[in-house]
Structure 1
Amino acid sequence: MREDLRSALRAMLANRGFTFIAVLTIGIGIGASTTIFGWIRTVLLHPLPGATNASRIVSLENTADDGHPLTTSFLDFTDYRDHLKLADVTLRKIQPLIIGEEPNPARAWGEVVSGNFFPVLGVQPEIGRFFSSEESTDAQNAHPVVVISHGYWVSHYGSSPAAIGQTLHINRTPFTVIGVAPLAFHGSWAGLDMEMWVPVTMYGQLTHTGIWMLEDRKTRNFEMLARLKPGVHLAEANQEAQALAANMAKADADADNGVGLVFMPLSKSHFGAEAVLLKPLGILMGASALMLLTVCANIASLLLARATARRKEFSIRLAMGARPARLTRQLLTEALALALAGALLGLLLTRWLTGALNWLAPGNSTPLLNAHRFDWEVLLFSAGLAAFVAVAAGMAPALSAVRADVNQVLNEARGLGTSGESHHLRKVFVVAEVALAVMALIGAGLFVKNFQRSRQMDPGFIAEGVAVASFDLSTAGYNARQADDFCTRLREKLEHTPSVTAVSYDDSLPLGSSGGNWEDLEIQGYVPRLNENMKIYRDLISPGFFDLMKIPLLAGRDFDLHDSATRLHDDPIQKVMIVNQEFVRRFLPGRDPLGHRVRGWGEWFTIVGVVQTVKYHQITESPEPYIYVPIRQVYRPEYGLTFHVRTSGSVPEAIASIRREARQIDPGLLLLDAQPLTEYIAGSLYGQRVAASLLTVLGGISILLAAVGLYGLMSYSVAERTSEIGIRMTLGAQRATVMSMVLKQGLVMALLGLAIGTVASLAAARLVSAALGAISPADPAVYLAAVAFTIMMALLSVAIPAWRAMRVDPMVALRYQ
């Protein structure tokens, strides 16, 4: 084996050009595949780094009557925690935090978690401790303690053990640092890097909302994880969960009627990065597999060409008694050496490519985790790919070399025969390259067009020219009256800003990644169907919202300043609501919606207007009912707040105005996110953008490799047939005839691969049709474009060898070889 390696290294150094091309090709293939594997591992396979026996940890979700996923309430969680016997359940919620005090507060991202969070995940502290049994009780606002991440400990405390016991002001409330999480642990959200963890029982103090949110079973603000007990399977756990949910639906019918409970693998969770990236990453893995097969075919073709040049050497060795297995081992070792060198290059490329998911992420402040970690799994995956490439690409050349007829090869060396087997094999590999490249190209085309078509779809409102800025007033200690005062003052200041044409605010931005807010409704005179979901998504808005967003008002009136949360003079408060067209179509068909009453938030609201249905969650979604309520009538600071500013000038200048004016009103209030609305709603297309962008790269590389393979084969063919071409031209063949002969040979292979790849693409596209919401998986324009581009690349690849053949000098050709 050692001698084989020496021989392989000598061969690589002796043919530097060949080695460079082969290693670069393999490196690109392995680098892309390893990068995508790193993303899949981080988001889907190992979303909880640092957790012990993470394969036993699953997602636990509530569901509505129709199966729609729901978040959970604290009271429901405590029932699940106390009554489920087959799993240990924990609670979590992402929470933006304000650290420090005026005049220089900073922002951090953390999680509010139940007291059993770290034991359920199986995480041990780096230093200090986690929550004690006393701190894990349900006593609210009793234990102001915080656990910080390893990264926060290093950056803010210099890794000093003295950090334990320090006071950290979080949302203007003093907390005591009790522990540091281990280096490997970044929280319970795949792909995100959390900085601290606070007991959920401090949520009221943390958000300055009191204790009502944890005592209201209808307030569903949290998500759950669970660890299955040893030997318990998902099916068993789900049987217990369904039975418990049924009992709770009877015991707490007002809040839990129709609410289901289901365990599922983390990769299928509806909350977090898994929900957005599951399909795109699966598709990318399939595309990278196609590209890797293209790489194998390309390298096999190159190795065949080199093996053909060494046929005399191999035949002499066989004639002298060398065993075929010995030659096979040597050739596979040479292929393995190339593959290992390519794998090393691939790992270097992976270091650069791994940030692509972050580059493509929507513009917000969420702390993204580096999606790639170099460890034994990555090295093992890369080594496995290298071995696969070595065997897949090296086996055909090795078998071709050892199966050759020794007498025939020696006669060929004296000009008494021709070499055909390796040439035919190279043709097969080139056809396979073209077919695989066409599949990758069509896949890229479908997802690019789907992404472009989705971006061009009318969301029902005009996002261009609008700046949005989000605040969390509860973290600053605002109550509802203070929040209303802040909004009124900021709105007045912004309305007097030059170039600002409209200002409004709400609590639920459309087409974002947050999932939106909903309310369980009762509609006067409407009887819900069996298992019908009456949890309707909603937005709390200020007057002028529809005008700013350019959402047409179809009937009735808009909200005005009289739609207040307080009594005006001696007039009674009228709770009012505006609904969309789909709400009317589904719940009030053939009836006048104006004046109709709807119950939500425990009170009756009167419909005073109808607006056009717009897109709320996904640009490709079907119409769904939606309601709007005056923000002053039901708003609480913990709901969040987003200002919208439409400007006739520069959107970045409008964002700067929001920052400036908000800081003048309250210097200690942090602005969470500020960006153009067009950038914000791009978050709803993140998965499509990832698939479209990276499939384009993979498809481009695949078609380039196929073109290089076709060019190499035709160049070799022309060189091999130089004498034949000289004889043809001496006998009167025209140069154009010679050129067309070479063109025809190359194009036949290209067209055969094109036909195979197109048919295979039609079959494969149907498997991902669900991810192509805006176009058909058989979109003719995409297929025609891919066909045209492939033919163009084939013509370019064949044209140069054909031109060389046409310019062969007959006299020189007759003396060739």
Structure 2
Amino acid sequence: MQVLDDVRYALRQFAKAPGFTITAILTLALGIGATTAIFTLVHAVLLKSLPVVNPDELYRVGNEENCCVNGGMQDNWTLFSYEQYKQFRDNNSGFATLAGFQSGQTLIGVRRNGSNKPAESFKSEYVSGNYFSTFGIGPYIGRTLTMNDDTKGAPPAAMMSFRTWQEKFGKDPSVVGAGFVINGQPFTIVGITPPGFFGDRVQSNPPGFFLPLNVEPLVAPTSSILEDASLDWLDLIGRIKTGANTSSMEAQMQVQLKQFLLSPLSKVEDRDKPLVAKQTLHFSHGGNGVQMMRDEYKDGLHLLMWVSAFVLLIACANLANLMLVRATTRQQQTSVRSALGAPRFRLVRQALTESIVLAVLGGTAGIALAFAGTKIILRLAFRNDYVPIQASPSLPVLAFALGVAILTGVLFGVAPAWITAKANPVEALRGANRSTGRDGGWGQKSLVVIQAALSLVLLCAAGLLTRSLSNLQHQNFGFDTANRYILHIDPQMAGYKPSQLEALYRQLNGNLSAIVGVKQVSFSLYTPMEGDNWGEGVYIDGEAPPPPGTPDHGASWVRVSPHYFETIGTKIVEGRANNEQDTATTRNIAVVNRFFEQKYFKDGHAIGKHFSNDIKNPGWFEIVGVTEDTRYQGPTSKMRPMYFLAQGQSVHSSEPRYQQFEDRSQYLNAIAIQTAGPVPNLEAQVRRALAQVNPDLALIDFNTFAEQVKGNFTQQVMIAKLTSFFGILALVLASIGLYGVTAYSVERRTSEIGIRMALGADRMNVLRLVLRSAFLQVGIGLVIGIPVTIFGGRIMASQLFGVKSYDPLILCVTIIVLAAAAFVAALVPARRAAGLEPMRALRME
């Protein structure tokens, strides 16, 4: 009951001082809200387990992230072939069940039986028949996929995600059991996944359909990889049996892996067999699923956690200042209460209660700000893409916010309680607040010093990240985005065979080129910075092949149509590009980038030389041109050697795997369009042009080239914007803190200032006196903050591009900004002090 009385008394006291209360609550709400918003994202991306049954029982075979199809030796194995998966599944006693699932995703064309609408593209994922049972996931309606669905010859079945069912089919229950056409093949939807289940990893736009592994040859007949034991494309997660020893299981599977690699099934070449003894695999906890997004975002999120923690510290310092000022100004009242018989422990408890109540009020307001802030962060991070991260209260986030609030209340209630404990009844009989000021308020001033130092660190971090982002965005990418558009199709969705592709692309080129305003159209496997990459080894004609295991002896490659380089704005610096004369009946040609030429030809001349991506046939391609270096991977990735093969040309290999990829590479899914300027309703006209060729030829996406490039900076933009926001917030909070301390100091020293002025000090002397005290605090903060800033820049060096971690210009600009803000914050109370009338100041005593 006494605690409730203390709380009620605290609330009454806060109601009597609305200015103090609102300022304190808002200050703390901003600090806790910012930190909690970042923690919400960190918890969802880095810490949260998958929404599955007993996630702690799940173990993943592999401890690294990889995508999407690998061949050859991995050294530390993470991806596995279907044949490897079956052997592990059937010959391991430690797992109660072991599931395999596609490491990437596949786009499929889907339409309902009897619908007149064209096929629509969806992301899908191939999974084993025991996938849902391994995770302990039941259906929302219908049933899940089973091992009976994942056998050769079984009726084609699929499971639809709840989100797809809700958004695309309006939760129509008749979808379950209905017939659908997927890539031209009949399927039955057997069930809907639960609303909270998004798959085996946190990712943007999770799969809309789950397909059994054994239907892969049916969905992709011309590029099937299911039966190729030399291609690794499956992640494995299993639920271990009670009492199983994971170390012995791991050792057993390593032996099985090496036995498989030495067997005829693996198709490992003789030259690579000496490497088998070095191959390993390691288990990792699987409760969080595949952590590719976690690996991508963890550095940025950790940086934001530090930044938001600094903002919270500054907010707490402000709160401490407010509480100290309040305790000092109430010292006479506290002395009176002590003189009237109030026990000292009662006064201390009341002071702590007020601090904790204030912190809880600020924490509650901070939670509201946090969830609004999380929505903004998600939009910054993923634009309009859907991600299975909820910006809504969760127990860990609520516990975090409440814990921070209570901890803040306790820590920053200690000083006021200490002042209360020192209350002397004698103080009630004399001016308790009298001060001559030189040694008063040291606690508040120390907090301002800390605020200034932390503000400098945050503002410099924001400056470095903003400069880094600008460098990233304005580097020379080796292409031109102006008046250029990128769209994607997948002819396999509409059932096109390799022999039909030449006629298809000729029709598409004619229809798209006929759109008024279109200058150029080209086709390619993929385009720069769209997130795709094909790579193979490189073998130069006339040179000995590199030893097995030689690192980085390969190149990325793209198959392209005539006019491709013109369409995307890449320059040919030597020789020529491929053209209409390069056909299936002429010699196979290639265009390489400058990096390829410099890496693989010591004389620096590539034109007329021959190379191949097959060690047995090193002279397949003749180099006819060299392009400028172009960035196809992310903006921070290292430049890679690249070569470009001509549309329609092909080589014939005795290796089934090579021939399979050769056939698959003829499907040029990316279309680049260059226009003479803005074209009204271009996307609608493109859709009509595709429908005229084939109504089942779905348009997967349509973007300007600039938008595609911009998508590569999403994480950097998010971090730079949020750090800048937190830096400005820190500057504002530090300025408020300096203003408060300076104003309080002036208030305490009113009589002293009056005496000085009565003895002849002019207003300028008083102004200098107050400003000197304020700038001394800021100056000490800068002296402390500069080395901390330099050290912090080194820590965040991995987030920087083209800028030094100790950039002197940014440091100088930041110091000037902080000094200007401090001057403005201190000037108002300084002017008020300089405007005091001496007699009035003395009468206040």
Q: CA deviation at 1:332?
A: 2.2
Q: Please identify, of 384-393 and 41-50, the stretch whose mean Cα deviation from structure 2 is larger.
A: 41-50
How far apart, CA to CA, are the structure 2 residues paired with 1:623 and 1:68? 25
Which one-letter code corresponds to 2:630 in the other structure?
V
Matched, 1:150 2:170: no
The aligned residue for residue 317 of structure 2 is 297
The residue type paired with residue 621 of structure 2 is T
Partner of 1:436: 454
Change (3 A) 1:9 1:414: closer
1:618 corresponds to 2:634: yes
Shift of 1:718: 1.4
Partner of 1:552: 571
Hey, what does 2:34 align to over in structure 1?
32
Is 1:509 matched up with 2:521?
A: no
SS in 2 for 1:369: coil
Question: What residue number does 1:345 align with?
Answer: 365
Distance 1:233 1:638 in 2: 48
Indicate the SS of the match to 2:105. Answer: strand
Residues 588 and 270 of structure 1: is their aligned pair in 2 closer, same or farther, counting only changes over 3 Å?
farther
SS at match of 2:225: helix
Partner of 1:166: 178
Query: Which moves more between the two structures, 554-563 or 278-287?
Result: 554-563
CA distance in 2, matches of 1:339, 1:237: 50
Residue 599 of structure 1 is matched in structure 2 by 613
Cα pair 1:58 1:228 within 8 Å, conserved: no
Tell which deviates more after alignment, 541-550 or 287-296: 541-550
Could you say if the C-alpha distance between residues 314 and 110 of structure 1 is closer, same or farther in structure 2, counting changes exceeding 3 Å? Answer: farther
**Aligned-pair CA distance for 1:354:** 1.9
| Contact 2:222/2:497 (<8 A) preserved | no
1:374 pairs with 393, 403, 427, which one?
393
Measured against aligned partners, the alpha-carbon deviations of 1:140-186 in whole angstroms (never above 9, x if no partner) come to x6341122233344456665765532323333433222222222211
Aligned position for 1:130: 144
Length-normalised TM-score, structure 1 = 0.90
Give the whole-Å Cα distance in 2 for the aligned partners of 1:471 and 1:51: 38
Given that residues 26 and 346 in structure 1 are in contact (C-alpha distance below 8 angstroms), is that contact kept between their aligned partners in structure 2? yes
Pick aligned residue for 1:729 from 753, 757, 764: 757
Secondary structure of residue in 1 paired with 2:783: helix
Q: CA deviation at 1:318?
A: 3.3
Q: Indicate conservation of the 8 Å contact 2:535/2:555, yes or no.
A: yes
Say if 1:200 and 1:126 are closer, same or farther in 2 by CA, change over 3 A: same
> By how many angstroms is 1:383 displaced?
0.9
- Displacement, 1:455? 0.6
**1:46 to partner: Cα distance:** 1.7
Partner of 2:602: 589
Query: How many equivalent residue pairs?
Result: 805
1:392 aligns with 411
Task: Name the aligned partner's letter for residue 536 of structure 2.
Answer: E
1:360 to 352, 370, 380: 380
1:646 aligns with 2:658: no
Of 236-245 and 436-445, more deviation after overlay is shown by 236-245
- 1:249-269 CA deviation, whole Å, 9 max, x = no partner? 433353786676555567999
Amino acid at match of 1:684: N
* 1:52/1:632 CA distance change after superposition, 3 Å: farther
Shift of residue 503, structure 1, vs aligned partner: 1.8
Contact 2:150 2:215 (C-alpha < 8 Å) held by counterparts: no
| Alpha-carbon separation, structure 2, partners of 1:59 and 1:285 | 31
Greater shift, 586-595 or 60-69, is seen at: 60-69
> Are 1:43 and 2:58 matched, yes or no?
no
How much identity, in percent, do the aligned residues show? 28
Give the whole-Å Cα distance in 1 for the aligned partners of 2:710 and 2:239: 35
Q: Where in structure 2 are the equivalents of 1:406-805 lying within 5 Å?
A: 406-408=425-427, 410-413=429-432, 423-512=441-530, 514-524=531-541, 525-529=543-547, 530-534=549-553, 536-564=555-583, 566=584, 568=585, 574-590=587-603, 592-593=605-606, 594-600=608-614, 605-608=620-623, 609-633=625-649, 634=662, 636=664, 641-650=669-678, 654-805=682-833
| Most deviating of 766-775 and 590-599 | 590-599
Task: Return the alpha-carbon distance in structure 1 between the equivalents of residues 16 and 377 of structure 2.
Answer: 40
- Partners of 1:86 and 1:793 in 2: CA distance: 64
Task: Measure the CA separation in 2 of the matches of 1:601 and 1:463.
Answer: 37
Judged with a 3 Å threshold, the aligned counterparts in structure 2 of structure 1 residues 771 and 43 are, in CA distance, closer, same or farther, namely same
SS for the counterpart of 2:733 is helix
Within-5 A mapping of 1:181-330: 181-192=193-204, 193-207=206-220, 209=221, 212-227=224-239, 242-251=254-263, 252=266, 254=268, 261=281, 263-264=283-284, 272-330=292-350
Structure 1 residues 271 and 535 mapped into 2: Cα distance closer, same or farther (>3 Å)? farther
**Residues 95-110 of structure 1 aligned to structure 2 (within 5 Å):** 95-100=106-111, 101-110=115-124
In structure 1, what is the equivalent of residue 653 of structure 2? none
Q: In structure 2, what is the Cα distance between the partners aligned to 1:134 and 1:69?
A: 29
Aligned residue for 1:750, secondary structure, equals helix
Larger deviation, residues 729-738 vs 170-179: 170-179
**What amino acid is aligned across from residue 606 of structure 1 in structure 2?**
F
**CA separation of 1:403 and 1:66: change in aligned 2, threshold 3 A:** farther
Distance 1:313 1:191, change over 3 A: farther
Say if 1:422 and 1:296 are closer, same or farther in 2 by CA, change over 3 A.
Answer: farther
Alpha-carbon distance in 2 for matches of 1:493, 1:636: 24
| One of 11, 14, 17 as aligned partner of 2:13 | 11
Residue identity matched to 1:436: L
After superposition, what is the alpha-carbon deviation per residue over 1:602-640, rounded to whole angstroms, capped at 9, x for unaligned?
A: 865213233222222122332222222223234538966
CA gap of 1:240–1:711, structure 2 versus 1, over 3 A, is farther
3-state SS, counterpart of residue 742 of structure 1: helix
State the alpha-carbon separation in 1 of the partners of residues 463 and 22 from structure 2: 30
| Range with bigger deviation, 634-643 or 604-613 | 634-643
> Structure 1 residue 743: deviation in Å?
0.8
- Could you tell me how far apart the structure 1 residues matched to 2:716 and 2:433 are? 60
Q: Which amino acid aligns with 2:100?
A: T
SS of the residue 1:711 aligns to: helix
Query: Which deviates the most, 343-352 or 522-531?
Result: 522-531
Q: Distance in 1 between matches of 2:439 and 2:245?
A: 55
Q: SS at 1:712's partner residue?
A: helix
CA positional deviation for 1:553 = 2.4
The amino acid of 1:338's aligned partner reads L
1:143–1:410: structure 2 CA closer, same or farther, 3 Å change rule? Answer: farther
Gapped regions of structure 2 (runs ≥ 5): 650-661
2:372/2:391 contact within 8 Å kept? no
Whole-angstrom CA distance in 1 between matches of 2:566 and 2:287: 41
**Partner residue, 1:94:** 105
Q: Distance in 1 between matches of 2:287 and 2:146?
A: 31
For 1:111, the equivalent position in structure 2 comes to 125
Matches of 2:757 and 2:28 in 1, distance apart? 40
Extract unaligned runs of 5+ from structure 1.
none
Q: Is the 8 A contact 1:723 1:814 kept in 2?
A: yes
Opposite residue 44 of structure 1, the aligned amino acid is: L
Structure 1 residues 18 and 600: alpha-carbon distance in aligned structure 2, compared to 1, 3 A threshold: farther
Q: Is the 8 A contact 1:238 1:263 kept in 2?
A: yes
Query: Does the 8 A contact of 1:276 with 1:686 survive in 2?
Result: no
Kindly state the Cα deviation for residue 769 of structure 1 after the two structures are TM-superposed. Answer: 1.2
Instruction: Write the distance in 2 (CA, Å) between the matches of 1:519 and 1:70.
Output: 19
Provide TM-score, normalisation by structure 2: 0.88
Corresponding position: 1:180 with 2:200 = no
User: For the residues of structure 1 that align with 2:636 and 2:803, how far apart are their CA atoms?
Assistant: 10
- Paired residue type of 1:808: L
